[in-house]
Copies of this chain bind each other. A is one copy, B any other.
Amino acid sequence: MQHPISGGQLIGFSESRAGQSHFTSHNPDTGKPNPWTFLEATREEADQAMALAAAAAAPYASLSGAQRAVFLEAIASGLESGADQVVPLYTAESGLPEGRARGELGRTVGQLRSFAALAREGSWVAARLEPALPDRQPMPRPDLRKCLVPLGPVVVFGASNFPLAFSTAGGDTASALAAGCPVVVKGHPLHPATGEWVARVMLQAARESEMPEGVFSHLQGSTHALGEQLVMHPATAAVGFTGSRAGGLALARLAENREVPIPVFAEMGSINPVLLLPPALEEGSAWPAAYAQSVTLGTGQFCTNPGLLLGLEGPALDRFRRELAQAMSALPNSCMLDAGIAARYRQIREALLGQPGVEEIEGPAAPEEVNRVPATVAAVSGRDFLGNPGLQEEAFGPFTLVVGCADASELEKVIAALEGQLTGSVLGDTEAFRTYRPAIEALQAKVGRLLFNGVPTGVEVCPSMHHGGPFPATTDSRYTSVGTDAILRWARPVSFQNAPAEFLPPALRDENPLGIWRMVNGKQTRESLSS
Contacts and interface: CB of A to CB of B under 8 A. Distances in A.
B497 A146 contact: no
Contacts of A493: 448, 466, 468, 478, 480, 485
A13 interface: no
A23 interface: no
A51 B494 CA distance: 38
Interface stretch (A269-277, A347-355, A457-465): A457-465
A15 interface: no
A229 interface: no
Interface stretch (A123-131, A310-318, A395-403): A123-131
Interface in A436-452: 440-441, 444-445, 447-452
B522 A453 contact: no
B454 A497 contact: yes
Contact of A452 (B256, B263, B468, B503): B503
Nearest to A131: B464
A12 B241 CA distance: 41
B495 A449 contact: yes
Interface in A145-180: 145-146, 149, 151
A491 interface: yes
Given A141-B460, A448-B493, A478-B493, A441 B146 contact: no
A492 interface: yes
Contacts of A256: 256
A500 B429 CA distance: 10
Given A460-B142, A464-B129, A471-B261, A440 B495 contact: no
Nearest to A149: B444
A524 interface: yes
B522 A524 contact: no
Contacts of A499: 450-452
Contacts of A139: 458
Contacts of A128: 462-464, 485
A440 B519 contact: no
A494 B447 contact: yes
Interface string A113-148: 000010000010000111000000001011011100
Nearest to A493: B466
A47 B519 CA distance: 41
A420 B498 contact: no
Contacts of A151: 477
Contacts of A503: 433, 440, 450, 452
Contact of A144 (B123, B146, B465, B517): B465
Nearest to A118: B522
A158 to B, nearest CB: 25
A464 B495 contact: yes
Contacts of A462: 128, 130, 141, 144
A388 interface: no
B464 A145 contact: yes
A495 B463 contact: no
A466 B146 contact: yes
Contacts of A480: 493
Contacts of A146: 463-466
A163 to B, nearest CB: 20
Interface string A473-516: 00111101000110010011111111110110000000000000
A123 B472 CA distance: 29
Q: Which 3 A-B pairs have the closest CB atoms?
A: A451-B497, A128-B464, A466-B495
Given A139-B458, A144-B462, A260-B420, 16 more contacts: A58-B441, A123-B524, A128-B464, A130-B460, A130-B464, A260-B471, A433-B503, A434-B502, A448-B492, A451-B499, A452-B497, A452-B500, A454-B497, A478-B492, A478-B493, A517-B524
Interface of A: 58, 117, 123, 128-130, 139, 141-142, 144-146, 149, 151, 256, 260-261, 263, 420, 430, 433-434, 440-441, 444-445, 447-454, 458, 460, 462-466, 468, 470-472, 475-478, 480, 484-485, 488, 491-500, 502-503, 517, 519, 522, 524
16 contacts: A142-B460, A144-B464, A146-B463, A146-B466, A149-B444, A260-B420, A263-B476, A433-B502, A444-B494, A449-B496, A450-B499, A452-B500, A466-B495, A478-B493, A484-B522, A517-B524
